[in-house]
Amino acid sequence: MFYFIRNPFILRQWYKKSLLWKIPNVKNEIFLTFDDGPTPEVTPRILEILKQHQIKATFFCVGENVQSYPELFEQILSEGHNVGNHSFNHLNAWETDGNTYIENVDKAAKLIPSKLFRPPYGKITPKLIKHLKKSYEIVMWTVLSGDFDADVNVEQCFNNTCEKTEPGDIIVFHDNVKAKNNVLSALPKTLAYFNKLGIKVSALPDK
């Protein structure tokens, strides 16, 4: 499985005007996001960890999971975290008809009150960008923890996040079952690491 831990600068520059890769003009602050939840196996524990460290984050939620676990979604909101749209069925834009994809995002929007959208797998087309930009801030990321990868252990996940991150970066973890062991073990270490360095960990700014 190939993916970038840190998205290449040239890629971020190419789509700088249409996609949000990092938050500009900030010092000693990074932005924490979670994809694919809410899930009862992982999300409650992540919320506990965030509360222990007094951290707010942004959760990009899948509509069908919100529909299945509305109480978890409400808990995310009630504890002061931000949410974003991650489509209803976690569709791959490169393998889905454009109209079908847009309908799926709009379906999720009925359950997820947010103007933030992150395409599943980080895959999107120029045509979809043009359409979705009318309604959403399309949020990508700077640093991918790799927590979902069965070939990545906890220490590697921690190193991926901490060694590659710079001020303004947007970090991605996952609150899905596949990432459970890595995220629940690496997240507390990661938050403690940034706290020791005096780096603030925040949710994405509201739109």
Which residues are catalytic, by number?
A: 35, 174
CA pair distance 171, 24, nearest whole angstrom: 14
Residues 6+ apart with CB under 8 A from 39: 65, 69, 72, 175, 176, 177
Phi, psi torsion values for 174, nearest 5 degrees: -130, 135
Give the integer Cα–Cα distance in Å for 87 and 82: 16
State the Cα–Cα distance between residues 122 and 115, nearest whole angstrom: 17
**Of how many residues is the chain composed?**
207
**Residue 158 neighbours by CB distance under 10 Å:** 20
35 and 86 Cβ atoms separated by less than 8 Å? yes
